[in-house]
Structure 1
Amino acid sequence: MRFTLVFLFCLLATFITCQSVTVEYPMYPPTKEGRDLKQFLNGVKTVAFALEPMNSEIWSHESNRSFVLMVPAKIYESFSDDSYFKILDLKDRPDVLEQKDLSLEGIQKYRKKIGEILDADAVLYVSVKQPESQCYVEAKMDYLALGMAVLKVVAAGKDRNRQYSRAAASLVSDPIVKPTGVRKVYIPIEANLIRVDSGEMMKTILSKPSIIYNGVGDISCPSMLPSLSTALDESISEIQRRLSPKVESEDISIFTEDENPEVEALLLEGYEEITGENPNFHRAKISWEKADLKAKGKSWAAKANLATYYFSEGDYQKAIQFYDEAIRLGGPEDDYLKELKELMAPPPIQEEATEEK
């Protein structure tokens, strides 16, 4: 980890009570898309999920009906488990949004109500249309057959003619390249991430089909439902790549000492909120805000801790603001706080290489 030296700081600065906690934070790819996503999300952490009701035409095929039943749970669980966001399900919440308003227009109209009731920063609205499927046969390499052919050649010893004979016989009885059944699946998906505060929206539309192969040598078309499941998993991963940053973690110092005993008690109270049986960074933030108020803005430790809170929330603008204020107060950990600021600096954008014509 970049900040393993935090423990050294704690040992050397004997006059500072320095605690360490593991903080998760968003990491964006060093691309133009990553920069745009970072700018759009700034502070977005809690996201309400809504799936557009699927129309009746999707239910025409038995496999499609089973597919429709799996879609909501797969998207919700995947984003809950693998994305940076804390996901809340809008399903069966008429107190938040009625079924008749479950549309992109309805989300925009009632976004502030959704944000107030659920304490959400944004809404992820996903539309899934009827899947398209095509089957065909394609030549695929059978690596097991290739390995067996190689073993037979080796077993033939140094006799070259015998080697050739065994290799040819092996390839006749069990060819290396075999016709194999393939299913191409295209699931039209549109995902919109809408900020509840401003109504700004980031949209992504998936247009790449998924290719599912049968076992090598089996020319039958891969089963429909497992193929749809695989294609959906790939689509969800792509939505996450485009709309959610990756999650990274660092051990970061939390400072709990101040010359004012009342301020120090509030700093320690905040630390205990994130290390107790039910850790809660938001309650810790409230304690540190009280410490900052009690110190009349003169506690560098309170400001540093508040910066770490906003860092964990992905609100880099506020985090940098508080780190700067802490540094200006001249605390003993200025160099360390500057390192944390560097972690939030946008990486150089990697431009895609263009081919010269």
Structure 2
Amino acid sequence: MPALTEPKLISGNANLTLAKSIARRMAVHRGMAVSLVDARVERFNDQEIFVEVYENVRGEDMFVIQPTSNPANDNLMELLIITDALRRSSADRITAVIPYFGYARQDRRAKARTPISAKLVANLLVEAGVDRILTLDLHAAQIQGFFDIPVDNLYSAPIFALDIEHHFKNQMDDVMIISPDVGGVARAREIAKRINAPLAIVDKRREKAGEIAEMKVIGDVSGKTCIIVDDICDTAGTLCKAAEVLVENGATEVHAYITHGVLSGPAVERVSKSVMKTLVITDSIEPTDAVRACDNIRIVPTAPMFAQAILNTWNGTSVSSLFETDTLVPIYEGLYSR
């Protein structure tokens, strides 16, 4: 049954650039003006967060766009408080659009007496009044099971596959997809299947968190254009070390495709000095000025995919259709012509 209300977008401060881009893309798809709901999300002097929504949202289908990236706690609280404001203003349905789901790396108890913070965050979102979640490349797929509400997890693999075919079209025979660890093989294999490329693995062994004791390449990368695929790049230490190991094993070029460019601490400097020719990330996290200025970091937009996913959610049509290449090509309007 078609929706009777229009989808309405509201954003916190975590990634206003992406939120505005999604609104513009929706305006193109709908052939009518789409803008963010007028609201203020501010902090008092003691850093308490205050939200005031200036427009009527009673009975509306609301989409709150807010990645819970750095500062994770502030951005998470903004999302919760915006949701509470909308729920108390009688919004009909609230979808949390979380391009980057913070705390996703704390999805299990790896040691005794440690939390499962991803589950706690899920409980907080549901208790605040979120009706459904729309996110991108969850670090662990089982996080979807932490929620008792619908969770739509979009994937960057189809977009990355299109981007690889576009930028490496004259050397596809030499392209090899690399998983930077054994745990990321499924993610890397998905892209390898889409572009019909072979797969290799960099096996890393840690002595303790933040330190890599040893790296070995499983597979022959000699003469190959290696493309490392992963979901998160934080300090870029592992990524840059993996690139060095691949070159030492005979790779002619090394590139990387990472969904969420956390890029904290010395990450940008490491990438700029790395043997990697390019690091491709999405805009799920607001890029810093340093990231934008880095010559070998390129940003792939996610607004077209999120805009279509929001419209599909509002219309009650398939979101999983966005996993298919034939669906994404027209959405990206010739950016990746085939």
TM-score, normalised relative to structure 2? 0.23
TM-score, normalised relative to structure 1? 0.23
More helix by share: 1
